[in-house]
A = this chain, B = another copy of it.
Amino acid sequence: MSLRLTQPDENGGQPWQGLKPGQIYLQRRRRTMATLRGKLVVAQSGGPTAVFNSSACGVIQEALKHDDVFDGVYGASNGIMGVLHENMIDMRKESPESIEAMRRTPASTLGTCRRKLDKNDLERILDVCKAHDIRYFFYNGGNDSMDTANKVHKMAVDAGYEMRAFGIPKTIDNDLVETDHCPGFGSAARLMALATRDVGRDTESGALTTTPINIMEIMGRDAGWLTGATAIGRKDERDAPHLIYMPEVPLTIEKFLDDVKKVHDRLGFVIVALSEGVRDPEGNLLMKSSQLDAFGHTQLGGVGDFLAKTITDTLGIKSRTNIAGTIQRSLISMASPVDLEEAYQVGQMGIKYALEGKSGYMVSLVRESDDPYSCTTGLAPLDKVANLTKEVPREMINEAGNDVNETFLKYVTPLVGEIPPSYPRFKKHAIGQLLEAYQR
């Protein structure tokens, strides 16, 4: 699917369309003062990111400014589990300093979970919300979490229980629909782009006598945004990565080996950026679809190790794999400043939209301009977001299916913050050779 930018209430032609978030807020605030009093709960769900807490902090800090509306600001421990089990903490009793520190703390300070809600769970959630007079529900997460937020929203509507439910987006995979991009993605992209560029130099340095092929196995089982983003740091054809494989484009072992060999013949070394979810033309994970017998245990080592071994066995060239794993989503020292700030804003704006009386939306990011980059927030109906995956559109991938193109780079580049310039290479003015060639 193609990228679709979301405007708040795009069908309604609301008067605040085209205004900045602050303007929207002020304008609406004048028209409809929020009157629903009650407690607010915020929860985090799914795999954390480096800026996950920045979003939760945005919700909490903004909510704490409005004690005329929020009788309590609760953080649920471990996502919806905390609501189900009434394990919630009172944010008013935490120090402002430790709440502020969330903006620079990786992972999930409240704790996260993975849980698909069933009917009993929803009844319990209603009971808990009623018992505690919870009237505002903020769920911070990815595709599955938007499903949870949506179910809670609908549960309240169906029960006639007045409550405002919001999804706050998060995922390094960047695969939520109805938003230009997702908080968490820019930071992971920054880390993996710089790591890939630097690993490229490392591999190039020693290609002559050590290991000339290095595969970066990158998170994103269904969408290749993060894998593609490793291309940001390139300046010339020697800069890594040289090949990019994403789940969106089917790949065969033969095609892969052919691509690798061509780059190796040309440059003498190869860096491959490989999505862990890369698939064959039948849609099966590449590793599973090929010689499993020769491979042994699929639990041990992913597709990167499998392909590295295939290269070594078939082409006779030493290969290795780097699997940064959960470092990709947690190393806050490498966070993108843009991402940190936007993550905070989607949380903060969630409160402002809730005070306007909205419910059943995910706060989205709406790009206004690429250069200079500018982005505002919008609202996407949870119904249109839950459980859907935004893949990289085919038109952002090169024709051969082994790299991204300029359209992709234009989209991704502003999200990662300023990237230090690539490293120069020497011109290599060779000295004259005075002796016979050495034959050993």
Contact = CB atoms under 8 A, between A and B. Distances in A.
Given A104-B423, A107-B205, A320-B325, 18 more contacts: A44-B205, A81-B209, A89-B426, A89-B428, A89-B429, A93-B429, A95-B427, A97-B424, A98-B426, A105-B201, A107-B202, A108-B201, A112-B206, A113-B208, A195-B330, A295-B300, A297-B309, A301-B301
Contacts of A424: 97-98, 101, 105
A369 interface: no
Interface in A419-439: 420, 423-431, 433-435, 437-438
Interface string A196-236: 00110111111011100010000000000000000000000
Contact of A325 (B297, B309, B323, B332): B323
A78 interface: yes
Contacts of A203: 326
A361 interface: no
Contacts of A201: 48, 105-108, 330
B305 A115 contact: no
Given A326-B322, A327-B199, A205 B425 contact: no
A131 B434 contact: yes
A390 to B, nearest CB: 23
A321 interface: yes
B124 A438 contact: yes
A333 to B, nearest CB: 5
A120 interface: yes
Interface string A93-129: 1110110010011111111111100001100100110
Contacts of A321: 323, 325
A426 B109 contact: yes
Given A423-B104, A429-B90, A111 B205 contact: yes
Given A132-B431, A202-B106, A209-B115, A437 B88 contact: no
What are the 7 A-B residue pairs with the smallest beta carbon separation, nearest first?
A296-B296, A322-B325, A107-B201, A108-B205, A301-B301, A105-B423, A93-B429
A234 to B, nearest CB: 15
A431 B89 contact: yes
Contacts of A95: 427
A299 interface: yes
13 contacts: A86-B431, A86-B434, A89-B430, A93-B429, A105-B201, A113-B206, A127-B435, A131-B434, A194-B333, A198-B330, A321-B323, A321-B325, A324-B324
Interface string A352-392: 00000000000000000000000000000000000000000
| A86, A97, A121, A203: most-surrounded residue (chain B CB, <10 A) | A86
Contacts of A423: 101, 104-106, 109
Nearest to A52: B205
B333 A322 contact: no
A306 interface: yes
A135 to B, nearest CB: 15
Nearest to A83: B438
A42 interface: no
A327 B194 CA distance: 10
Nearest to A432: B86
Interface string A305-324: 11001000000000011111
A137 interface: no
A404 interface: no
A204 B47 CA distance: 11
Given A297-B296, A334-B333, A440-B121, A114 B209 contact: yes
